[in-house]
Chain A
Amino acid sequence: MNDDAVFRALADASRRELLDRLHQTNGQTLGDLCQGLDMTRQAVAKHLAILEDANLVSTRRQGREKLHFINPVPINQIAERWIGKFEQPRLGALSKLKKTLEGKDDG
């Protein structure tokens, strides 16, 4: 896996938003993904290409449509390599504490 490509792909709020949207509904067309976004179709297509190059997104043809799917592999590898190694249990406890104190899920 090319770590640099994955980190570069993730270092952009629009691309992270696209991943969030695919996480919510997997298998969307470019048109689906453009809906409600303040970006041109070309910009979204470019972001998707970067995500695909980093292997974070995989595309499949279904009839005339090209659908985009999340590929969980690179993020999982980053989690194992860069988070698991650095004491995930403690981070988990802190994150839980923060959520409890702040009373919300996405702190």
Chain B
Amino acid sequence: MAKSESSTFVYVTYIRTTPQKLWSALTDPEQMRDYWFDMRCESDWKPGSSWRLLFEDGRVADSGEILEADPPRLLAIKWRNHFKPELAEEGYSVCTMELEPVEDAVKLTVTHSIDRKDSKLIHAVSGGWPSVLSNLKSLLETGKIAYKRSKPAAAA
């Protein structure tokens, strides 16, 4: 994959928690709703299983499959947008989440990339991930989210 033919978003944040708690927050639909603006996630998080992100009203925002799941270290999702034609037509992207304990925190690296230059999808998720992940950090560290309402990552 040559860099000129791909688009990538990288987000690195340190969260004061344990890898196990962070993994649980990343995969438990109940917890996800709290920091992901009421989006509903469906998956059993096993490699090869389907993965879907739904709006509150049941419309599919994004879907794909679990490429890798190595709790509590690595999660990779094959990810395609569904509700915006110009993003959907770009096809599948890959989102990986890496968890690495660092002192009394966990370094979370979210990488979202697609094999296409100047991707609209990557541009869109670049606007959405920061609010979702900032909420996740606040939730784990303080029990409260930072933003109540914003565009979900998928809808950004």
Contact = CB atoms under 8 A, between A and B. Distances in A.
Interface of A: 1, 26-29, 55, 58, 60, 62-63, 65, 67, 69-73, 76
A59 B8 CA distance: 12
B12 interface: yes
A27 B8 contact: yes
A72 B126 CA distance: 9
B109 A58 contact: yes
Interface string B10-50: 11111000000000000000000000000000000000000
Contact of B11 (A1, A28, A63, A71): A71
Contacts, number: 40
A69 B13 contact: no
Contact of B130 (A28, A58, A76): A76
Nearest to A59: B10
The interface residues of chain B, by DSSP majority, are classed as strand
Contacts of B134: 76
Contact of B111 (A1, A55, A60): A60
Interface of B: 1, 3, 6-14, 109, 111, 126, 130, 134
B3 A62 contact: yes
A73 B11 contact: yes
16 contacts: A26-B8, A27-B8, A28-B3, A55-B12, A60-B8, A60-B10, A65-B3, A69-B8, A69-B9, A71-B11, A72-B11, A72-B126, A73-B11, A73-B13, A73-B130, A76-B134
Nearest to A73: B13
